[in-house]
Chain A
């Protein structure tokens, strides 16, 4: 299928392993963050979000960690499955806007069976 962002950071893991995808955000005033998953040939799909007053948030098999000191966001996927293979984007919402998301370049996750 088609893909975008051909020159992406890549992460290759074995099925069953845990995956950690990192994102450095740009604006210390950003107060809301989202992780999206984009499979080949599809649009981005919401995974999990976190507000800046939190350090950690857990979902089903996913955890997002926020380190405001170093402006770093990470997405942890437990027991990674082949269906998790996709490009993962982080997005931040600047404090000055209530709708203008700024997206990161993305990381290509490949899960090997």
Chain B
């Protein structure tokens, strides 16, 4: 148990559907992240939030829309996805946005997304 909880763990959606992934961290951290992990590529950073403000959109298509209503919750809204978007989506958090020794990034267990 890392203190970062993601729901749902598995999601199957059609290309015309709208769905959302939810992440909640119970660690009192100020920074939250969305990463994508697919079979063909290493872990990729998608979005970064610090104190509820987005500080990074790593060239992610607009069919992925993040939302951070407060420092404990992070959503990833999904709309008109493509089959190649099927992947494991990982949420993570850290105390501060700067990565350094002692400021570990904690990952959730991920949401497996399949787009059909």
Q: Do the two chains bind?
A: yes
Distance of A4 Cα from B46 Cα, bound (Å):
17
Q: Pick the residue among A41, A99, A102 that contacts B48 (CB under 8 A).
A: A99
User: Chain B: interface residue count, which band?
Assistant: 20 to 34
Q: Is the CB of B42 within 8 A of A106?
A: yes
Least CB distance from A66 to B in Å reads 13
Q: Is the CB of B37 within 8 A of A4?
A: yes
Known: A43-B4, A44-B90. A103 touches B99 (CB 8 A): no
Query: Which chain A positions have C-beta within 8 A of B39?
Result: 4-7
In the complex, residue of chain A having the shortest beta-carbon distance to the beta carbon of B39: A6
B80-110: CB near A (< 8 Å → 1, else 0) gives: 0000000110101000011111001111111
Q: Does A71 belong to the interface (CB within 8 Å)?
A: no
Q: Is the CB of B90 within 8 A of A93?
A: no
Distance of A34 Cα from B87 Cα, bound (Å):
23
Q: A25-79: which have CB < 8 Å to B?
A: 32, 34, 41-46, 49, 51
In the complex, residue of chain A having the shortest beta-carbon distance to the beta carbon of B102: A49
Q: Is the CB of A44 within 8 A of B100?
A: no
Q: Is the CB of A46 within 8 A of B109?
A: no
Query: Which chain A positions have C-beta within 8 A of B97?
Result: 98-99
In the A-B complex, the 9 residue pairs with the smallest Cβ-Cβ separation, listed nearest first, are: A43-B107, A103-B43, A98-B98, A103-B42, A46-B104, A44-B107, A43-B109, A105-B42, A4-B37
